Amino acid sequence: MTPIGSPQVSTFSLPALSLVIGGARSGKSRLAEKLVTAMGKPRLYIATAQPFDDEMRLRIARHRIDRGEDWITVEAPLSLDTSLSSCDPCYAVLVDCATLWLSNHLLAGHDLENACAGLLAALRACPAPVVVVSNETGWGIVPDNALARQFRDAQGRLNQMIAAQADLVIGVMAGLPMVLKGKLGEGVL
């Protein structure tokens, strides 16, 4: 029996930082999981969701079941920078997702500029390859309240900063991946 997170034969590698971005239910998390799995390394899933209600608890449980048992999961709704800095280089890391992480900081009243700067520094310094999942929130209607507009704008800025730092950026729409930046090996998708 293969132990949890044990290496497989790898024929695929990812750059130090990749971003998978798309709308809600676009297939971005599934694609990110596939990319990390294809590396054949032990897999670390850094989760940013917080189970504030029954529906979210069910979503989190469903995600865990869908991923399977061969992922190590770390809960980091706010301390994503700390989790990234303590990663072992033998792992392939999936952060799901930057959107929930940002909303957690916004709702906690934290300084978003400082939080984002800390995240970007941690992504640069992480010794393991990282795939970040994020939502594209700017294609919808303009929100009708100041908090939602603040979040949408901050998310757009964070997405741009991660994309600028990443060597690979993949957009996902209707389950279809589009490489926006960098190159992806043959046969991975």
Q: What is the per-residue pLDDT for 11? A: 58
Q: What is the per-residue pLDDT for 184? A: 84
Q: What is the per-residue pLDDT for 187? A: 63
Catalytic one among 30, 34, 63, 64?
63
Residue 118's alpha-carbon distances to 90, 129, 157, 162, 165, in angstroms, are 23, 18, 14, 12, 14
Q: What is the per-residue pLDDT for 9? A: 46
| Single pTM value for the model | 0.90
CATH number of the domain residue 97 falls in: 3.40.50.300
Q: What is the per-residue pLDDT for 7? A: 47
Does 72 map to a domain? Answer: yes
Q: What is the per-residue pLDDT for 68? A: 83
User: Domain of 42?
Assistant: 17-181
Does 5 map to a domain? Answer: no
From 151, 110, 109, select the one nearest 134 (Cα to Cα). Answer: 151
Does 48 map to a domain? Answer: yes
| pLDDT 10s digits, 127-136 | 999 999 999 9
Does 38 map to a domain? Answer: yes
Q: What is the per-residue pLDDT for 5? A: 47
Q: Is the peptide bond before 97 cis (omega within 30 degrees of 0)?
A: yes
Which residues of the chain have a pLDDT value below 70? 1-11, 186-189
| pLDDT 10s digits, 41-67 | 999 999 999 888 999 889 888 888 888
From 64, 96, 59, select the one nearest 172 (Cα to Cα). Answer: 96
**Rounded CA Rg of the chain:** 16
How many domains is the chain built from?
A: 1
Does the annotation count 110 as an active-site position?
no
Does 1 map to a domain? Answer: no
Q: How many helices (H) and strands (E) does the chain have?
A: 6, 7
